[in-house]
Amino acid sequence: MTRKQRRLTMIGGALVVLAIAAGLVLNALRDSIVFFSTPQMVAEKQIPVGKRFRLGGMVEQGSLVRGDNLAVSFKVSDGGATLPVNYKGILPDLFREGQGVVAEGAMDASGVFKADTVLAKHDENYMPKEVADALKKQGRWQEGEGGKPVMLQGAAKPVVTPAKQSVLQ
């Protein structure tokens, strides 16, 4: 074997090893690449009990129930599906109903998401892109004054935002 053939064999072998390593890494990360799942994605995927993932969506109005010893339960919705969440701990200061939230935890056997971490939106304009896209697709989203989101309560009901109200007057 000549020197050139050995060099090409070494380069080819290194490329094969690199391709196999990349394939193994991508296969291992296949389910973890998405930052979070929406309630509708959870229903479609049928995520097994005990498997950890992140759940993102909007905290449903009127669903927040505070219990004893910092226990909290609420419902997360993406407009298409709703998932009950139980959490024990101190909620972020910005957490409230009608706002975006990302919770990390696992499903239990009764179909409730048991969260061990809850993250609230970081400012008044934040909403995960996937949740905003799902709400827009269902007609439950509209841009308000200054580009701020306005959640529509019913898809068929028009909402008059401050920007539209000034036009109507």
CA distance 127 to 96: 13
CA distance 169 to 150: 20
Q: Is 87 annotated as a binding residue?
A: no
Query: Who's near 52: CB < 8 A, 6+ residues apart?
Result: 104, 105, 106
Q: Is 126 annotated as a binding residue?
A: yes
> What's the per-residue H, E or C state across 138-153?
CCCEEECHHHCEEECC
- What is the token pair recorded at 145? 């004054």
Cite the annotated binding site by residue number. Answer: 122, 126
Cite the annotated binding site for heme by residue number. Answer: 122, 126
